[in-house]
Amino acid sequence: MKRKVSVIGAGGWGCALACVLCDNGHDVALWSALQEEVRLLDENRENKAKLPGVRLADSILITDDLPSACKDRDLLVFAVPSVFIRSTAKSASPWVREGQVIVSVAKGIEENTLNTMTDIIKEEIPWADVAVLSGPSHAEEVGRRMPTTVVAGARSDATARFVQDIFMNDVFRVYASQDMIGIELGGALKNIIALAAGVVDGLGLGDNTKAALMTRGIAEITRLGQAAGGCQETFAGLSGIGDLIVTCTSRHSRNHNAGELIGKGYTAQQAMDEVKMVVEGVYSARAAKKLAKKYGVTMPIVDEVNAVLFEGKSAPDAMNDLLRRERKGEFG
C-alpha cells in the first residue's frame, strides 16, 4: 500500500532510507534543517558529502519546510543525529497529529537525562505513536541496495508491523519486535565498543584482541540492557550482536574509524573532525557510564573508553588495564 512518508534528517542514513522508501513506491519527502544541504541535494540529487554515489530519485521531495514535511504523513522517520533528536521533535510537535507514527533511527542516549531516543520523542510529542528501527545497516550499503536486515520495534505489535510493512522489500528485510529498550540500548552501546575495536586496529593489535573486545563488549551491553528492562534475546539479535559485528568490523563505520585514529594518537575531537560524519559513540560514552552506575552493573570497556576519550588516558594504558583486571569466571 502506498503511504505518505517523510524522512526528517538528510545525512547519510536519512538519504539511504529515503531511497528504500521510494523503492517501495511510497510518496517520500526528505527534510533537512540545513538550507545549504537542501539546495545541494536538490541540485545534485545526491548527498555528495555524506553518501556519495547514491542517487536520490526525482520523485523524492527535498525540503527545508518542517510543517509541510510533518503534516498529513502516515509515517515520520527521525534520522537526525542523537544530539538533535530533542530539538527536532520539539520543532515538529505542532504539526504531528494524535497517533501519528514516528520511527527513530538515531542511535544514542541523551547524556543529561539518560533517555533513549524514543523516550525523548515521547516526552516532546506524547500523542505520537513512537517506534524504532535498528540493526546492522550502513547507509553506504543500503544505498547500493545490498541485502540488509533490521528490526522494527514498537510497544504494540500492530505498530511494529506497520513500520515493518512500510520498509520491507526484497533487499531490506525487517523483523518485528516489542522490545524497544533492548533494541535502542543495543544500538547505542555498540558504538562505544566499536570505538574500542577501532582503537585495537589503530594500535596494530590483532584479530584475537578484537574478537575479545566484541565478545566481552556484548556481555557488557547485555548486562546493562537486561538491568534496564531489555530481553536477553534482543542482545543476541540484529540490533545487538548483529550491529556490534558490523560496526566493529566495517570500513564504513564512523565509530570504528574514529577509534582507529584515536589508537594512532588522535584526540577524540581530532578523530571526529577527520571522520566528518557523526561519531555517536563519543556522545553516548558518558551516558553509558552513568547508566551502568544507575543500574549497578560493571562495564569495564565502557569505563576505559571514557578514560581515553575524556580523561587523557593513553590507549595502550587502557588496554593494559583491561587485561590486568582481577581474574574471574567467564559468566560472573
Given the rule CB under 6 A, which of 51-59, 74-82, 134-142, 164-172 is the region that contacts ligand 13P?
Answer: 134-142
Residue in the shown chain whose Cβ atom is closest to ligand NAI: 11
Verify whether residue 190 is a known catalytic residue.
yes
Q: How far apart are CA 146 and CA 254, in angstroms?
A: 19
Q: Which does 255 bind (CB under 5 to 8 A by kind): ligand 13P, ligand NAI, none?
A: ligand 13P
Taking residue 152's Cβ as centre, other Cβ atoms within 10 Å add up to: 25
- Is 311 known as a binding-site position? no
d(C-alpha 161, C-alpha 212), whole Å: 36
253 carries a ligand binding annotation: yes
Q: Which is nearer to ligand 13P, 245 or 297 (CB)?
A: 245
Residue 49 and residue 10 in contact, taking contact as beta carbons nearer than 8 Å: no
Asked if 40 contacts 73 with a C-beta cutoff of 8 angstroms, the reply is no
Q: Is 254 annotated as a binding residue?
A: yes
100 is a site residue for ligand 13P (CB under 6 A): no
Judged by CB under 6 A, does residue 201 bind ligand 13P?
A: no
Binding test (CB under 6 A) with ligand NAI, winner from 40, 56, 125, 139 = 139
Is residue 178 classed as helix, strand or coil in its secondary structure?
coil
Determine if residue 13 is labeled as part of a ligand binding site: yes
Which of the residues 262 through 281 are near ligand 13P (CB under 6 A)? 280
Catalytic residue among 50, 122, 190, 289: 190
For cell 553518501, name the residue. Answer: 51
Q: What residues pair up with 256 in beta bridges, in sequence order?
A: none
In 155-250, where do the E strands start and end? 172-177
Q: How many residues bind ligand NAI, per CB under 6 A?
A: 27
Residue 19: exposed, middle, or buried by beta-carbon count in 10 A (0-12, 13-18, 19+)? buried
- Pick out the residues of the known binding site for substrate: 107, 254-255
Active site residues: 190
Residues found near ligand 13P in the complex (CB under 6 A) = 107, 136-138, 191, 194, 243, 246-247, 252-255, 280
